[in-house]
Structure 1
């Protein structure tokens, strides 16, 4: 650590930032697939496969890398007074802008897969969004149990997840810091 402060983003907000676009774009792609008149497998098979993919995606995404999150949370250092805490809206906007083309590409792929399995690709995307939401809720419970909010440096996040290869650790603040509640939701 140096003498100057760094910008910090909430870990739960970064995780939760992708949940809404994946959910809504996935539902839109599934709806487009459900109204297609012609497909290789039929609407019923496609939607049943999509429901199974939804459940599997939600479980896999919500459980992925939990050990690494727990390790970083346990080894987190206290944020310095000079550190800058980034607003929730700025974190969400930055995450979504950096990945807007990937989200668009995923939507096109999910909608295009509806010619083979109607609605399955869209429900897979929506399941990933639900998994991110569940992971953010789990992080919120972790923050409440520790009575501390988890933060990550913003210069480490653009290249991946809040526990990606570039991330070396988390920092903590008290539960009143920032404008997001535990779990990344808006503070009321």
Structure 2
């Protein structure tokens, strides 16, 4: 979302718009800050509650990493993302760059939330996972109503690092 927003804002600056570039960019900056803060703080309590209630993953649990969940959600919602991008481009004719900066702010807020979850995992020394069967009836939302709790594994389990990043291993010499 961030890159789509930056691109739409860049294109939006090229169009003078009804309000003028200066007002559009100033309104876009305000929207960027507000959107980033709202998206980063939205449902944070739900994520923390799910993390506190995380049970140890059993041998037969089918787990799905948040990165995979995000990719699946993105594929399922690609038309909405494309529509948001088109709306951000179209809004440039009224308020230049504001729609693109709003979209970029939403993407930044999601990145801030992911960083917060990574810090939460590091503090508890556990990786958080979502059971696949809970995601299926939930539209792929990792903190939706169907997700009753996360599953946790130790840091050494799997190939993921805290925050869902790929684990870096030392090259064997």
> TM-score under structure 1 normalisation?
0.81
1:87 positional shift:
6.1
Cα distance in 2, alignment partners of residues 142 and 125 from structure 1 = 26
Q: Secondary structure at the match of 1:187?
A: coil
Cα distance in 2, alignment partners of residues 164 and 89 from structure 1 = 16
Matches within 5 A, 1:1-188: 22-36=1-15, 38-86=16-64, 90-157=68-135, 159-188=139-168
1:112 positional shift:
0.7
Q: Which residue of 2 aligns with 1:17?
A: none
What is the number of residues matched between the two proteins? 166
Distance 1:121 1:155, change over 3 A: farther
Relative contact order (alpha carbons < 8 A, sep ≥ 6): 1 or 2 greater? 1
Cα distance in 2, alignment partners of residues 179 and 95 from structure 1 = 22
1:86 positional shift:
3.8
Q: Which sections of structure 1, spanning at least 5 residues, go unmatched?
A: 1-21
Cα distance in 1, alignment partners of residues 31 and 154 from structure 2 = 39
1:46 positional shift:
0.4
Does structure 2 conserve the Cα–Cα contact (< 8 Å) formed by 1:88 and 1:179?
no
Q: CA RMSD in A?
A: 1.7
Q: Which sections of structure 2, spanning at least 5 residues, go unmatched?
A: 169-173
Q: Runs ≥4 in structure 1, deviation > 6 angstroms?
A: none
Cα distance in 2, alignment partners of residues 87 and 150 from structure 1 = 8
Q: Secondary structure at the match of 1:144?
A: helix
Cα distance in 2, alignment partners of residues 178 and 88 from structure 1 = 13
Distance 1:183 1:87, change over 3 A: closer
Distance 1:118 1:62, change over 3 A: same
Cα distance in 1, alignment partners of residues 59 and 9 from structure 2 = 47
Q: Secondary structure at the match of 1:156?
A: helix
1:92 positional shift:
4.3
